């Protein structure tokens, strides 16, 4: 017989039919995220027009260049679909969607109904209206079939022309060279990769590629592809011609929107979606290259993976931030050349914040700034080890002043890159292709004792796709094992001590991570309209602590803490917890000390400071935290230590009320970091309370504040708490 709680569980797992159109990178990444969160929530079917499982399109160039086999770029093999209970209809093209009756039809006549539909149909190569473009020997570069075609053609023909000197065109050209073809690139702009590079970097790149054997025809417009049934040459607007047996057109992409358009969805250039990837039709979502978010349709995977994460969380009922758009960045995957470009690089000389050219090493670096003195874009050539650090600065619109700390030192490139990775916030993504964060890489290195980049790649997938982040992963490995100063203490020891993994199981009786536990509690409370009585809490505990009847002290107190956070406990008194557990709860509060009480004998400007201290004491009196915390309020930062070694420190300086976060006076000693400066008492209280709230919401149970700051990164916390604040 089912208990009440079992019935609820059964109800929760009543499976809705989820249908994904497009078996490509973004759609399947979204499904992967959903499976991580809720493996059993949906009955999933995927329809894909390509006759194979999902593969890494990014690595097609590597297949063409002979560096990867087809097998190596398969992301999810047939077994993966089977093991996860997913029905894959490969080689089927969806021709019609009925959004009223909620079903789709394929060209072959299959009909599939859905409760939730995700459209992730990607893009098609853009073929400009040039006469002769349908001729034999003219191909594009989008799929594995295109790769196979190029390989086959290279066996019979020797002269290739690539129309388009952008990322794809250059990668295709490198592949054709590898296949033994004489390869010429035709580009209509005065320099190659003109969307990602400036003229200096583009010329450096061109020289390198010429050394590899490519030939360039710049500022040339192709007007005709000449031949009878198969291509023989290209004709340009200036009347000149170029002989070619094979022509690859790589001039851009067009989102696949026809299907959505004729099904009544709102489309512009692509399918219009909101911040949660919802289309104009209920229960129909879109993501990937076929989606248009705030007027932008992205053509790179990192943004699409971010979209997939948001959509997956929303569909699984897990609280999520909206998708707010992404900073585009790109890395050329041609062996022997390192090129990186991020953000807005369109500015002129007035926007150049930093520029260096080293002819001996063959390196170039340029950083552009926006109107507010923020890092707006960056170009790297020859050495891309700072790519992730610069990308992080572009993403958080860091002040260009931060660049100064990295330049002008004589410590050499290796040391600079290690410092760059050391400075990255831990949640920052290092491998964008596979969405792997600095924190994940470091914990994996420590947990598995990894010693080289290939081992890191094997365990985390970082640097396993385009390979552009390999120098970053190398620097991160060095930093994790030896620290930023090369001494063997630092990173590993500190990292082990300081970071608490939100992915580790809560305890032995519960096979759930803290993150998962929070979600389970959230799910249960939502099913009860946000209120739970004593019986329901007992049932929940029994259900969650599957390996132990009543749970251990650790999981009971963790569950209790997360319940408190959600404020779901009904009014009647709860006597579920032992006296020790009750005591433990009281202990997890904030203790606010003021200048009069601290050991450093500081004087206090009584009025304001006592007001702050009193207000904080009363506002935070009943607040329950993941871990006990001490906050200090003093008059000045002299001596600095008093403020900087407390979890939260507020001092009244000439600039205003400075608020510091993450200090710790015992081992490991941590210095508090400045979050913001408030002009008036009210703002200071608001800022400190926002920090505390952010800590409560995102820390895991028993994670001290200083450890949480290290894990999340003060930059991210600052962004979070200052987002709607007037504090500078």
Ligand X SMILES: Cc1cc2nc3c(=O)[nH]c(=O)nc-3n(C[C@H](O)[C@H](O)[C@H](O)COP(=O)(O)OP(=O)(O)OC[C@H]3O[C@@H](n4cnc5c(N)ncnc54)[C@H](O)[C@@H]3O)c2cc1C
Candidates 43-51, 127-135, 381-389, 455-463; binding stretch for ligand X (CB under 6 A): 43-51
Of 75 and 592, which has the nearer Cβ to ligand X?
75
Residue 333 touches ligand X, criterion: CB under 6 A: yes
* Sole binder of ligand X in the list 19, 34, 35, 58 (CB under 6 A): 58
Residue 49 touches ligand X, criterion: CB under 6 A: yes
Q: Which residue has the tokens 């939100």?
A: 502
> Which tokens belong to 155?
């066996």
Residue 168 touches ligand X, criterion: CB under 6 A: yes
Of 171 and 683, which has the nearer Cβ to ligand X?
171
Give Cβ neighbours of residue 107 (< 8 Å, ≥ 6 apart).
92, 93, 94, 95
Residue 259 touches ligand X, criterion: CB under 6 A: yes
Q: How far is CA 176 from CA 57, 184, 185, 334, 724, in A?
A: 17, 10, 11, 12, 52
For residues 694 and 709, what is the distance between their CA atoms, to the nearest angstrom?
A: 10
For residues 148 and 706, what is the distance between their CA atoms, to the nearest angstrom?
A: 54
User: Residue 431 Cβ, how far from ligand X at the closest point, in Å?
Assistant: 11
User: Residue 290 Cβ, how far from ligand X at the closest point, in Å?
Assistant: 6
Of 169 and 227, which has the nearer Cβ to ligand X?
169
User: Residue 709 Cβ, how far from ligand X at the closest point, in Å?
Assistant: 31
For residues 289 and 302, what is the distance between their CA atoms, to the nearest angstrom?
A: 11
> Which tokens belong to 38?
């809720």
Count, residues near ligand X per rule CB under 6 A:
35
Of 25 and 690, which has the nearer Cβ to ligand X?
25
Sign of CA dihedral 47, 53, 59, 64: negative
> Which tokens belong to 697?
């919401």
156 CB-contact burial (10 Å; exposed 0-12 / middle 13-18 / buried 19+): exposed
For residues 356 and 668, what is the distance between their CA atoms, to the nearest angstrom?
A: 39
Candidates 41-49, 383-391, 401-409, 693-701; binding stretch for ligand X (CB under 6 A): 41-49
Provide the greatest CA pair distance for the chain: 93
For residues 580 and 584, what is the distance between their CA atoms, to the nearest angstrom?
A: 6
Closest CA to 116 of 285, 264, 265: 285
User: Residue 77 Cβ, how far from ligand X at the closest point, in Å?
Assistant: 16
Residue 234 touches ligand X, criterion: CB under 6 A: no
Of 90 and 552, which has the nearer Cβ to ligand X?
90
Q: Which residue has the tokens 């053509």?
A: 299
Q: 261 φ, ψ to 5°?
A: -60, -50
Of 38 and 306, which has the nearer Cβ to ligand X?
306
User: Residue 16 Cβ, how far from ligand X at the closest point, in Å?
Assistant: 21
Residues 660/672, Cβ–Cβ less than 8 Å: yes
* Sole binder of ligand X in the list 48, 169, 471, 676 (CB under 6 A): 48
For residues 637 and 630, what is the distance between their CA atoms, to the nearest angstrom?
A: 17
* Sole binder of ligand X in the list 18, 34, 37, 47 (CB under 6 A): 47
Of 112 and 646, which has the nearer Cβ to ligand X?
112
Residue 393 touches ligand X, criterion: CB under 6 A: no
DSSP secondary structure letters along 438-463? HHHHHHHHHHHT--SHHHHHHHH-TT
Residue 175 touches ligand X, criterion: CB under 6 A: no
* Sole binder of ligand X in the list 53, 122, 132, 676 (CB under 6 A): 122
Candidates 45-53, 70-78, 583-591, 691-699; binding stretch for ligand X (CB under 6 A): 45-53
Q: For residues 466-525, which are near ligand X according to CB under 6 A? A: 466
Cα angle 87, 92, 94; round to 5: 100
Of all residues in this chain, which one has the CB nearest to ligand X in the complex? 24
Q: For residues 3-32, which are near ligand X according to CB under 6 A? A: 21-27
Binding mask 61-100 for ligand X (x = CB under 6 A): x-------------------------------xx------
Candidates 48-56, 235-243, 364-372, 490-498; binding stretch for ligand X (CB under 6 A): 48-56
Helix (H, G, I), strand (E, B) or coil at 483: coil
Residue 613 touches ligand X, criterion: CB under 6 A: no
For residues 284 and 279, what is the distance between their CA atoms, to the nearest angstrom?
A: 6
Binding mask 266-305 for ligand X (x = CB under 6 A): ----------------------xx---------xxxx-x-
Residue 663 touches ligand X, criterion: CB under 6 A: no
Where b means 16+ CB within 10 Å and e means fewer, 626-657 reads bbebbbbbbbbbeebbbbbbbbbbbbbeeebb
User: Residue 55 Cβ, how far from ligand X at the closest point, in Å?
Assistant: 9
Site for ligand X, rule CB under 6 A: 21-27, 47-50, 57-58, 60-61, 93-94, 120-122, 141-142, 168, 171, 256, 259, 288-289, 299-302, 304, 333, 466
């Amino acid at each position: 017989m089912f208990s009440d709680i079992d019935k609820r569980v059964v109800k929760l797992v009543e499976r809705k039919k989820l249908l994904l159109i497009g078996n490509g990178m973004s759609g399947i990444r979204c499904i992967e995220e959903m499976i991580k969160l809720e493996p059993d929530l949906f009955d999933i079917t995927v329809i894909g027009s390509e006759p194979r499982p999902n593969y890494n399109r990014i690595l097609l160039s590597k297949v063409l260049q002979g560096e990867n086999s087809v097998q190596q770029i398969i992301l999810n093999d047939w077994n993966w679909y089977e093991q996860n209970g997913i029905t894959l209809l490969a080689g089927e093209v969806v021709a019609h969607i009925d959004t009223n009756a909620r079903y789709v039809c394929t060209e072959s006549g299959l009909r599939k109904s859905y409760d939730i539909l995700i459209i992730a149909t990607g893009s098609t190569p853009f073929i400009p209206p040039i006469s002769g473009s349908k001729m034999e020997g003219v191909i594009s570069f989008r799929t594995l079939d295109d790769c196979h075609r190029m390989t086959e053609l290279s066996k019979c023909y020797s002269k290739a022309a690539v129309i388009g000197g952008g990322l794809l065109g250059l990668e295709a050209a490198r592949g054709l060279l590898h296949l033994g073809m004489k390869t010429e690139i035709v580009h209509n702009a005065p320099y190659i990769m003109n969307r990602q590079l400036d003229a200096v970097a583009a010329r450096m790149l061109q020289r390198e590629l010429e050394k590899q054997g490519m030939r360039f025809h710049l500022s040339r417009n192709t007007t005709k592809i000449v031949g009878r049934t198969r291509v023989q040459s290209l004709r340009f607007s200036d009347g000149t011609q170029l002989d070619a047996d094979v022509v690859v057109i790589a001039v851009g992409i067009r989102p696949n929107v026809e299907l959505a358009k004729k099904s009544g969805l709102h489309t512009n250039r692509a399918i219009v979606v909101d911040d949660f990837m919802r289309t104009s039709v209920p229960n129909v979502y879109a993501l990937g290259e076929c989606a248009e978010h705030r007027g932008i349709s992205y053509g790179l995977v990192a943004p699409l993976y971010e979209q997939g994460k948001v959509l997956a969380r929303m569909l699984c009922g897990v609280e999520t931030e909206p998708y707010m758009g992404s900073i585009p960045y790109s890395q050329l995957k041609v062996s022997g050349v390192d090129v990186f470009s991020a953000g807005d690089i369109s500015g002129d000389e007035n926007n150049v914040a930093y520029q260096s050219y080293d002819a001996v090493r063959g390196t170039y670096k340029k950083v552009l700034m926006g109107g507010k003195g923020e890092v707006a874009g960056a170009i790297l050539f020859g050495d891309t080890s700072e790519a992730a650090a610069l990308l992080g600065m572009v993403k958080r619109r860091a002040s260009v002043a931060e660049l100064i700390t990295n330049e002008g030192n004589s410590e050499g490139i290796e040391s600079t890159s290690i410092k760059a990775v050391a400075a990255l916030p831990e949640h920052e993504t290092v491998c964008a292709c596979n969405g792997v964060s600095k924190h994940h890489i470091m914990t994996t290195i420590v947990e598995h004792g990894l010693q080289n980049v290939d081992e890191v790649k094997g365990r985390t997938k970082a640097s396993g796709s385009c390979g552009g982040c390999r120098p970053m992963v190398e620097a991160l490995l060095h930093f994790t094992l030896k620290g930023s100063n090369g001494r063997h203490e630092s990173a590993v020891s500190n990292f082990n001590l300081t970071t608490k993994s939100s992915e580790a199981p809560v305890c032995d009786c519960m096979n759930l991570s803290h993150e998962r536990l929070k979600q389970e509690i959230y799910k249960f409370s939502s099913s009860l309209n946000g209120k739970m009585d004593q019986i329901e809490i007992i049932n929940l505990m029994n259900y969650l602590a599957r390996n132990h009847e009543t749970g251990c002290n650790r999981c009971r107190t963790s569950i209790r803490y997360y319940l408190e956070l959600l404020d779901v406990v009904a009014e009647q008194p709860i006597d579920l917890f032992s006296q020790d557990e009750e005591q433990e709860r009281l202990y997890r509060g904030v203790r606010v000390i003021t200048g009069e009480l601290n050991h450093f004998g500081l004087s206090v400007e009584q009025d304001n400071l006592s007001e702050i201290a009193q207000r904080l004491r009363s506002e935070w009196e009943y607040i329950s935290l993941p871990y006990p915390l001490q906050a200090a309020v003093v008059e000045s930062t002299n001596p600095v230590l008093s403020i900087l070694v407390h979890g939260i420190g507020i001092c009244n300086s000439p600039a205003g009320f400075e608020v510091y976060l993450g200090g710790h006076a015992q081992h490991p000693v941590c210095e508090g970091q400045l979050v913001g400066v408030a002009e008036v008492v009210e703002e200071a209280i608001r800022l400190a309370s926002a920090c505390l709230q952010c800590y409560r919401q995102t820390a895991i149970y028993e994670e001290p504040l200083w450890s949480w700051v290290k894990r999340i990164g003060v930059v991210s916390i600052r962004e979070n708490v200052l987002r709607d604040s007037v504090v500078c």
